[in-house]
Amino acid sequence: QVQLVESGGGLVQAGGSLRLSCAASGSAFSGYAMSWYRQTPGEQRELVASIGTGGSTKYADSVKDRFIISRDNVKNTVNLQMNELKPEDTAVYYCSAHDSMFRYWGQGTQVTVSA
């Protein structure tokens, strides 16, 4: 089992940047694939970016070339650098860890991008 604590959300103007961080504890972090999801009211949770145990990355088309996911297996953290933010990026962002059997979720952090 792993516990996930997110930080870094807030209010930013369009075109600005934010860096989200997710700190993991309670289990072997390096054994988990890590992802960032986001969700707005009335919408289904959307996969934003993921990074595998070997470091491979994937991005949603809507954030490609703007967002960067990274992980530090020594500090047990996963980060999401968000650049060139747009109002449509406004959502609650969730950190997620996935092993061979379970998926774990953080509590979410609000990101609001003003026009």
Question: DSSP states of 27-83 as a string?
Answer: S-GGGSEEEEEEE-TTS--EEEEEE-TTS-EEE-TTTTTTEEEEEETTTTEEEEEE-
* Tens of pLDDT, residues 92-115: 999 999 998 999 999 999 999 999
Question: What's the confidence (pLDDT) of residue 19?
Answer: 98
Closest CA to 77 of 9, 30, 11: 30
pLDDT value of residue 26: 78
What pLDDT band is residue 1 in, cutting at 50, 70 and 90? confident
* pLDDT tens profile 42-81: 999 999 999 999 999 999 999 999 999 999 999 999 999 9
Residue 15 DSSP class: T
